[in-house]
Structure 1
Amino acid sequence: MREKPRGRAAQRLETRQRVFDAAVAEFRRTGMADADIGAIVKAAGVARGTFYFHFPTKEHVLLEVEDQEEVRIARALTRFLSTPHSLPAALAETIRLVAALEQRLGTLLFKDLLAVHFSPTRPLTEEWREHSVIILVAGIIERAHADGEAQIEVDPFHSAVFFLLGLYGLLSTTTAAEHLRRQVLDSYLTTVLRSLEPR
């Protein structure tokens, strides 16, 4: 078990969390581009330099939000997958969890998160194969294929990437009322399942 930070280390972490929380609140209110660093540091009760000490750019705040939310979604999806399920149910749950992310973060922060995720200039480069949600969806598709429930023409990992890219694309561009958005997402799920039907 890891030892809990104490003294200055604990104080540094607490300050970092205050700055992070204040930044997320400001991003939700205005969007990242219009977020005021002055308002963030005032809300956090720190000097301006403290923000940049912990987060070199505003994009770094979004990357931390992304990491935290990916862990949250992966945990929830793992719990779901630990019970008996079908391919349609597993993909529907994935859609539900990702759509809930937008509701939890708010539209502005969610769209900023997607923009930084797919940005070619994101501050940190990562391999997509390290993303736990992609790995879980690839596993869903691979197991369905092994069980004869799905036919895949490409690598399960690529199928998972295509599925999630389509989902994020729909969520970031569909601004319809909730019931209409639900219809769009249901239609998307039907299309994906048809593309995976055994021949």
Structure 2
Amino acid sequence: MALPAEEKRTRRDVQRLETRRQVFEAAIAEFRRSGMADADIGAIVKAAGVARGTFYFHFPTKEHVLAELTQQEEERTAKELEGFLGAPHDLRSALAEVVRLIVAVEQRVGRVVFREMLGLHFSPTRPAIRPDAHAWADFPLLALMVREIERARDQGEVQPESAPVLATQFFILGLYAVLITSHECDASAQFVATTLYGLEPR
């Protein structure tokens, strides 16, 4: 008996999503081995068990794979930070938690992929996974940090003239630079302390 058209579409959608997941996971595994620039599309599609054209159907470029991974990790990190911020805390512990969460991203994806994710942030050709995202408010992690610095300012933890959006941008960009250039145990803690020194009332 023939399947109703709606059920056929549902099955096709499920299969399409499953194929996309397989291609995505095979690509990330290849990125871990070779880095994104040297990743072999042939090796990716072989591991995923699909035709070469299937990769490009789901991901126009290798950068689109990396951008999607970056978005997933940003959303996961924001969700975990939101849970932390729901309990009593101060700005120092909040910034330290951001550091811990971003270091955890590196541990999950591996150092090679993590460095490429950071590089993608500064790439002029970064794919627009979220074409409508133009401001800090469109990125959940940044939005949470801005609100946290606003809270700290309102409670007198930081200077009243502090600019939460700029402070968030400086913190994130600075943290990325620290993680790329140094893996000393206390570098991140020193970075948090230095950031707070610039924000705290004199």
TM-score by length of 1: 0.92
**Aligned position for 1:150:** 158
**Aligned position for 1:159:** 167
| Structure 1 ranges of 4+ moved more than 3 A | none
Structure 2: which amino acid aligns with 1:127? H
Query: What CA deviation, in whole Å up to 9, does each residue of 1:54-83 have, x standing for no partner?
Result: 000000001100110011000000000000
CA displacement at 1:152 relative to structure 2: 5.2
* 2:123 counterpart (105, 119, 123): 119
Counterpart check, 1:187 vs 2:190: yes
Structure 2: which amino acid aligns with 1:68? Q
Query: What CA deviation, in whole Å up to 9, does each residue of 1:147-197 have, x standing for no partner?
Result: 0011154421111011000001111222x4xxx2x2111110110011111
**Aligned position for 1:134:** 142
Counterpart check, 1:65 vs 2:69: yes
Structure 1 residue runs of 5 or longer lacking an equivalent are: none
Over the aligned positions, Cα root-mean-square deviation in angstroms equals: 1.3
Counterpart check, 1:37 vs 2:41: yes
**Aligned position for 1:170:** 178
Query: What CA deviation, in whole Å up to 9, does each residue of 1:9-66 have, x standing for no partner?
Result: 1100000000000001110111101100000000000000000000000000011001
TM-score by length of 2: 0.90
Structure 2 residue runs of 5 or longer lacking an equivalent are: 1-8
CA displacement at 1:122 relative to structure 2: 1.2
CA distance in 1, matches of 2:160, 2:12: 53
Q: Paired residues, what number?
A: 190
Equivalent position SS for 2:186? helix
Computing the radius of gyration from Cα coordinates, the structure with the larger value is 2
Structure 2: which amino acid aligns with 1:173? T
* 1:26 counterpart (24, 30, 34): 30
Q: Indicate the percent of aligned positions where both proteins have the same amino acid.
A: 55
